[in-house]
Amino acid sequence: MKVNGRDMRATWWIEDGVAYIDQRRLPHALEIGVAASVEEVARAIEDMAVRGAPAIGVFAGYGLALAAKLGDDLGAAYERLARTRPTAINLWKGLDTVRGACAAASKTLRARATLATARAFDDAEVAAGEAIGTHGLALFRQGTRVLTHCNAGWLAVQDWGTALAPVYRAHRAGMEPFVYVDETRPRLQGARLTTWELAQEGVRHALIADNAAAHLMQRGMVDLVITGSDRVAANGDAANKIGTFGKACAARQAGVPFYVAAPISTFDPGTASGADIPIEERSDDEVLFVEGVDESGTARRVRVAPEGTAVFNPGFDVTPHELISGIITEVGIVRATAEGVAEALNRAKA
Ligand code: MRU
């Protein structure tokens, strides 16, 4: 995707380490960070400077390639990176793929092999996003009004995105889609990132408070809901950003189709159902404070609840497969059932 006319990915390899767009600074500033050690890669994932399921898989893969280049203990690097976030299975897909290239005997060969594998994994995720866009385009008509939650665009997937990939395809095909963007409390990925991405692409959109989504669906203002996912279980249940399940319930009640868009790297056949997906709990401060810029453009962090308020802050929820109209993957749209998941995995292997 282009930023100010320049082709960019969310993260990329450079001579000194792994570069990334610092997603904590958007939309107010486009800052590039550099992780020069495995610990810095891990912290960037934990602090959500790099976030979104496929993007953290790619970034962690580069982190392991960095460990190989620096001559670090690869087992320890793997363990550190694997501890960063628990929900998105893509993290392990990236780590396991790159670890598979670590067997080479000499340090130089190992460094080359891990980097080549990390790059190939990155390119495969980009290609998957592009193909998701192609398959998802079938759900669009002229002027389709889509509602999305969180950020499942190119920042979360390196390029194209998952939920937003079909939107970008439809936009480029002249179909003039319109996107309702849930703000996505508490980290506001919708308000900060999805709006920014859509504006860069010139896609028509409106930001809505999370609480407004059900009302819009009830009033017939939404044709289609598409969200991303952090892990699709063997039975088709899908974990995604907290609040997604509620949108799916509202969509079912209002008769609006609810689709999940996810690459095969998000499928986890080893997890039987959504009940088995670990749900990350994040810090109280994400709920107690909001961050933004004031009228002079200065970054501010302000408290919104009384001091001492107790908080519970789950980062994800699970949408049961019964509420999902289909899963848009790079190998086509499949049903959100055990058979559909197996079919997608088989097609990907073929
Ligand atoms: O906590 P985040 O911002 O990493 O959560 C991201 C999401 O939940 C996305 O919707 C999901 O990763 C799918 S992105 C392709």
Span from the CA of 97 to the centroid of ligand 1 (angstroms): 21
How many angstroms separate the alpha carbon of residue 110 from the centre of ligand 1? 31
Q: Is the pLDDT of residue 105 over 80?
A: no
**Residue 5 pLDDT:** 81
pLDDT grade for 190, boundaries at 50, 70 and 90: very high
Per-residue pLDDT reduced to its tens digit, 199-225: 999 999 999 999 999 999 999 999 999
Q: Is 58 near ligand 1, meaning CB less than 6 Å away?
A: no
Please list the residues that pair with 138 across neighbouring strands: none
Residue 227 clears pLDDT 80, i.e. is over it: yes
Active site includes 96?
no
pLDDT (tens digit per residue) in 133-142: 999 999 999 9
Instruction: Report the percentage of the chain scoring pLDDT > 90.
Output: 95
What is the distance in A from the centroid of ligand 1 to the CA of 181? 14
* Ligand 1 nearest atom to the CA of residue 157, by list position: 15
* Inter-helix orientation angle 107-136/53-70, to 10°: 170
Nearest protein CA to atom 8 of ligand 1, as residue:
241
| Closest C-alpha residue for ligand 1 atom 2 | 52
List all residues 6 or more positions away from 118 whose beta carbon is below 8 Å from its beta carbon. 13, 58, 61, 62, 64, 65, 94, 98
C-alpha 239 to ligand 1 mean position (Å): 9
Mutate to test the pocket of ligand 1, among 90, 241, 242, 280 (most ligand atoms within 8 A of CB): 241
Q: How far apart are CA 27 and CA 195, in angstroms?
A: 8
Residue nearest to atom 14 of ligand 1 (CA): 152
Per annotation, catalytic residue among 223, 230, 237, 268 = 230
What percent of the chain clears pLDDT 70, i.e. is strictly above it? 100
| pLDDT bracket for residue 176 (50, 70, 90) | very high
